[in-house]
Chains A and B, each alone.
Chain A
Amino acid sequence: MNNKEAVDFQIHNNSSFAHVRKLATDYKNRNDGILQKEYWDNLLSIKKRAVLESDQLIAKVTWCFEEIGKIQDKYVESFIHFSNDEFYEGWCLLEICENITRSLDMHYQEKNNEFGIEFIRINTKKFQSLFPYKLFISPGFLMKTRCSVCNKLITPRNYCGHENGEIYDGEMCHGIAEDIEPLEVSIVENPVQKYSVIDKDSYDYGVIKYIIKKISSPWDAWDYKKSKKLVPKYTKVGRNELCPCGSEIKFKKCCLRKKQEIDHFDFTF
């Protein structure tokens, strides 16, 4: 049994996790949406015991349940923000969902959407694709990095033995930046940090508002198809009529050539 298989087995069969498993699988029926405190308290207690007993497998399993809980909660919170017209705040939480899911994937992947992670993964992408954000700020900075487990400086020749992304005593190993020296700021279309949106208040969030009005729960299914359609003011204009843009030129010699199209969405609920 490899590591992932061992984790999977414990997640689904270990009786120590029976209560948190039930809470995590019951995600659609929570009254206020997010996980109760007992979920986190329960996991903390199991983790402390596992670390004391040097049981790295059980410590890793508690970490997986923690990440599952965070993904569920952040997704629900993003929906709450969308419902309150706080779109940028919701966008940032979806990015957190994405990042935590990526980390969790390294150690555990559900098979039958029992924790809703696959649903959240797909819906996160769908929501993100409807956002109008085009440009992002991307900083560049110099730094040294320390290992979060042993605190040693990470350099090519100085390998501390801890793998970035691996779980040690129930915590994920990562690099901690220090001696940070800002160097540059770029404007990019494909950022790693999606929260660095330029001018977030000047966008039209109409498409997302439409979806949120139509669904009552973050767990409702919906889908869409995107196509290009002519801008409405040009749809009923004859080729030889004057162009609606006000140029005094015939439509066929003016905007018809420029293919004035907008995104059109067909939604299914």
Chain B
Amino acid sequence: MSTNEIKFQEEISNIDFDSAIDTCSSDPEFKKKLLMANVLIIPDGKSSKNNNIFPVTTTELYRYLQKKSPSQVKLDIATKDEDYVELAQHSDLLNLPTIIVSGVILPIIIGLITNYIYDELKSDDVIVKSKIIIINESGDNILIEYNGPANEYESTISKIFKK
């Protein structure tokens, strides 16, 4: 993929907070705690040892969002610490974790992720891969996938607000 190409996809998703939380742990108390979130970082899959797999940017992004989010954002991550593993891939690509977010919070999260890319990397000259599942209380849940330059991220994803 060339550095200027953008791949942006939008499709209906059957994933929601309940289904994502259900697969991440068998602990009912832990699952109950996760249901309080309106922004949830979810794993990309399970390892052979049944750990939850996240891209290597996850810890930093989680801490950044925790530090910078306003009070209406209830952030959490769908894994216990002992089940957390990272997938390190060494191409020059910023692979962000998959996030489920309530529709009303989406503009805040997009802004924060854009700031993270710039503040932490000191660059908008990287390729970003991002998946966000938007939970619409009045309709279908939407999965948006972005794969393109960081400096086009906000403007491309924000098209979804206009719909």
Residues in A lying within 8 Å of B, measured CB to CB: 138-145, 153-159, 164, 177, 179, 181, 183-184, 186, 188, 190-193, 196
Contact = CB atoms under 8 A, between A and B. Distances in A.
Given A142-B47, A142-B51, A156 B88 contact: no
B87 A192 contact: no
B89 A157 contact: no
B84 interface: yes
Interface string B51-83: 101000011101100000000000001010100
B19 interface: no
B93 interface: yes
B55 to A, nearest CB: 10
B90 A193 contact: yes
B92 A140 contact: no
B59 A141 contact: no
Chain B interface size range: 20 to 34
Contact of A157 (B47, B77, B91): B77
B76 to A, nearest CB: 9
8 contacts: A140-B89, A142-B86, A144-B84, A144-B86, A156-B81, A156-B84, A190-B92, A190-B127
A179 B85 CA distance: 9
Contact of A139 (B53, B60, B90): B90
Given A156-B58, A156-B77, A191 B91 contact: yes
Centre residue among B63, B79, B91 by max chain A CB count within 10 A? B91
B60 to A, nearest CB: 8
B87 A142 contact: yes
Contact of B59 (A142, A154, A184, A192): A154
Interface of B: 41, 47-49, 51, 53, 58-60, 62-63, 77, 79, 81, 84-93, 127
A193 B85 CA distance: 21
Given A145-B86, A186-B89, A159 B63 contact: yes
A156 B59 contact: yes
A140 B87 contact: yes
Contact of B93 (A141, A181, A190): A190
Given A183-B87, A186-B91, 12 more contacts: A139-B89, A140-B89, A142-B51, A143-B85, A143-B88, A144-B84, A157-B81, A190-B91, A191-B90, A191-B91, A191-B92, A192-B91
Given A156-B81, A158-B81, A159-B63, A143 B92 contact: no
B92 A192 contact: yes
B91 A141 contact: no
A138 B59 CA distance: 22
B93 A142 contact: no
B40 to A, nearest CB: 12
A191 B90 CA distance: 6
Contact of A142 (B53, B63, B79, B92): B53
A191 B91 CA distance: 4
A184 B84 CA distance: 19
Contacts of A138: 89-91
Nearest to A145: B86
A164 B58 CA distance: 14
A143 B86 contact: yes
A157 B34 CA distance: 13
B47 A181 contact: yes
A197 to B, nearest CB: 13
